[in-house]
Amino acid sequence: MGVPLAVIQDFYHLHDHHHPVYRLIRYVAVWALFLGRILQGISGSAAWIVSFAILSDNVGAEHMGKVTGVAMSFITAGLVSGPMVAGTMLQLLGYWPTWCASLMVLLLGMIACLIMIEGGDGSLSRPDSVVSTTPVPSLPGLETAIVSSDGETSALLSSGHHSYHSIGTKSDSHTEETEKTTPSHRFYYIMFRDIRVLAGIVNTVIFSAIMSGFDSTLPLHLYRVFNWGSLPVGIMFLGLQIPSMFLGPVVGWYQDRAGLRNYTTVGWVLMAPLLWLLGIPGQSHFIWASLDIYGKALLIFCMIAIGSVSSLIRSAGSLQIMTVFHDLQLKNPKSFGDHGGSSKVFSITEVSFNLGMMLGPLLSGYLSEAVGYYYMNMTLGPTPTTGTNITFYGH
């Protein structure tokens, strides 16, 4: 766009910034910036949903916690290193080389998507016209199974014995009942009827709202209380992100072994007092937490502790919703259609997380201006208690 805009500027003598054509171009440029941000948000959400749907389709439910923890660690590493690398390149190289580096990263992502080998279900891709007699591995009382062209399976069983597995050994009527396909438009109706899905959504919204509230209130609070600039505030946010980056895989491994409810409940129980302690530094009625005594130390401790505790909570909602999805598919493999519903599952998580990111800054910003940072934390402190109750009784 630089060449045609330069031609237009020279042709219309647009060196005067008050020229109408110059104003029009500048107006279009502002809207182009907003349009680019909208497209960036759409593409980011699509990449997030598709990536986690691929993970869900290729990883068993018993390993989902570990894989999600590792994935969130890489995401956190990108969130932490991205602004640092971009800021350094912008300072040293300028805008366009920095932007070209971003385009190269996008190109590498496209190449990775093209060379990725997707796993498929052979039963779904098998031609309907094939008629074969398939021997089944020897099980007690099961001799031969004949797979017909219409997908029905009839088993020849010896009298007086039952098969170890129920799949492929029941009557035709039972097979038709279990393989009944639910229309895809009823996906959300089926999912939202389960209380565990609602618990996962509430967990995601509350966690996202609390964490996004830090972005809108903490920098201004630290500037008012401690007169800190961008560098120490950035270090504080590193203390919030780095612990979860290293603890994510470990927490995921424990969640696979012991379940979600206990660890998520412990995380919410610890989050409430940490939010209260975070608001204490710099308050006049807490002399021991003043700037000259223990204020800075308490603030650093709270940020690192909240970052560590957040690793127990951050992926619990999405894992809970995915667990319900896998349970429903085990009961009826075709309950959500031939292609499943993994993308729809993570779209629920994405919408819930973005809803929290929208509500968090609005609520925390309003409370911080109305009643102050300390009382804002006092108000938000009971919120983790709500998450605790929902987690314990809803999971």
Q: What is the pLDDT of residue 301?
A: 92
pLDDT at position 117 is 65
Question: 147 - beta bridge partners?
Answer: 132, 153
Residue-level pLDDT at 167: 38
pLDDT interval class at 392 (50, 70, 90): low
For 184-393, CATH number?
Answer: 1.20.1250.20
- The pLDDT of residue 192 is above 80: yes
Residues 109-135, buried b or exposed e (16+ Cβ, 10 A)? eeeeeeeeeeeeeeeeeeeeeeeeeee
pTM of the model: 0.67
Tokens 């710099």 correspond to 282
For residues 201-232, one letter each, b for 16 or more C-beta atoms within 10 angstroms of the residue's C-beta and e for the rest, the string is: bbbbbbbbbbbbbbebbbbebbeebbebeeee
**pLDDT (tens digit per residue) in 16-57:** 555 555 555 555 666 777 777 788 777 777 777 777 777 777
Query: Looking at the predicted structure, is the pLDDT value of residue 156 above 70?
Result: no
The mean per-residue pLDDT over the stretch 195-212 comes to 88
Q: What does the pLDDT average to over 335-356?
A: 78
Where is pLDDT greater, at 378 or 284?
A: 378
Chain-centre distance for alpha carbon 91: 31
Reduce the secondary structure of 226-294 to three states and give it as a string. Answer: HCCCHHHHHHHHHHHHHHHHHHHHHHHHHHHHHCCHHHHHHHHHHHHHHHHHHCCCCCCCCHHHCCCCC
Residue 131: phi and psi, rounded to 5, are -120, 120
pLDDT given at position 147: 41
**Helix/strand/coil percentages in the chain, nearest 5:** 70, 5, 25
- How confident is residue 304, by pLDDT bands cut at 50, 70 and 90? very high
Which pair of structure tokens corresponds to residue 235?
A: 């270090």
For the record, the structure tokens of 337 come out as: 């259609």
Report d(CA 238, CA 230) in Å as an integer.
Answer: 12
